[in-house]
Amino acid sequence: MAFRISSQLERIPLTGLCGGEKEDEEIVAEIMRRRFFPALITHKAWEGFHFAGHEIRITEATDCYGAVVWPSALVLCYFLETNSKQYNLVDKNVIEIGAGTGLVSIVASLLGALVTATDLPELLGNLQHNVLQNTKLKCKNQPHVKELSWGIDLEKKFPRSSCHFDYIMAADVVYHHPFLDELLLTFDHLCKNDTVILWAMRFRLDKENQFVGRFQTLFDLEVISNFPSLNITLYKAMRKGRMKARPSKLTV
Ligand SMILES: C[S@@+](CC[C@H](N)C(=O)[O-])C[C@H]1O[C@@H](n2cnc3c(N)ncnc32)[C@H](O)[C@@H]1O
Examine residue 244 and state whether it is found in any structural domain, yes or no.
Answer: no
Examine residue 246 and state whether it is found in any structural domain, yes or no.
Answer: no
Examine residue 152 and state whether it is found in any structural domain, yes or no.
Answer: yes
Q: Measuring from atom 20 of ligand 1, which residue has the nearest CA? A: 149
Give the 3-state secondary structure of the chain: CEEECCCCCCCEEECCCCCCHHHHHHHHHHHHCCEECCCCCCCCCEEEEEECCEEEEEECCCCCHHHCCCHHHHHHHHHHHHCCCCCCCCCCEEEEECCCCCHHHHHHHHCCCEEEEEECHHHHHHHHHHHHHHHCCCCCCCCEEEECCCCCCHHHHCCCCCCCCCEEEEECCCCCCCCHHHHHHHHHHHCCCCCEEEEEEECCCHHHHCHHHHHHHHEEEEEEEEEHHHCEEEEEEEECCCCCCCCCCCCC
Examine residue 72 and state whether it is found in any structural domain, yes or no.
Answer: yes
Q: Measuring from atom 15 of ligand 1, which residue has the nearest CA? A: 98
Domains identified in the chain, total number: 1
For the stretch 66-91, pLDDT in tens is 678 999 999 999 999 999 999 999 99
Average pLDDT over residues 209-237: 96
**Does the structure show a pLDDT above 70 at 250?**
no
Examine residue 213 and state whether it is found in any structural domain, yes or no.
Answer: yes
Average pLDDT over residues 46-54: 95
CA distance 192 to 188: 8
Instruction: Please tell me if the CB atom of residue 102 comes closer than 6 angstroms to any atom of ligand 1.
Output: no
Residue type, 85: K
Q: What is the 99 CA–ligand 1 centroid distance (Å)?
A: 6
CA distance 70 to 240: 29
CATH of the domain at 78: 3.40.50.150
Instruction: Please tell me if the CB atom of residue 177 comes closer than 6 angstroms to any atom of ligand 1.
Output: yes
What are φ and ψ of residue 184, in 5° steps? -65, -40
CA distance 107 to 109: 5
Examine residue 111 and state whether it is found in any structural domain, yes or no.
Answer: yes
Examine residue 227 and state whether it is found in any structural domain, yes or no.
Answer: yes
Record the pTM.
0.88
Give the pLDDT score at 252: 37
Give the pLDDT score at 44: 67
Q: What is the 173 CA–ligand 1 centroid distance (Å)?
A: 5
Query: Domain limits at 135?
Result: 2-239
Instruction: Please tell me if the CB atom of residue 96 comes closer than 6 angstroms to any atom of ligand 1.
Output: no
Give the pLDDT score at 61: 73
Q: Measuring from atom 24 of ligand 1, which residue has the nearest CA? A: 66
Examine residue 97 and state whether it is found in any structural domain, yes or no.
Answer: yes
For the stretch 109-121, pLDDT in tens is 999 999 999 999 9
Average pLDDT over residues 156-165: 96
Question: Cα 229 from chain centroid?
Answer: 19
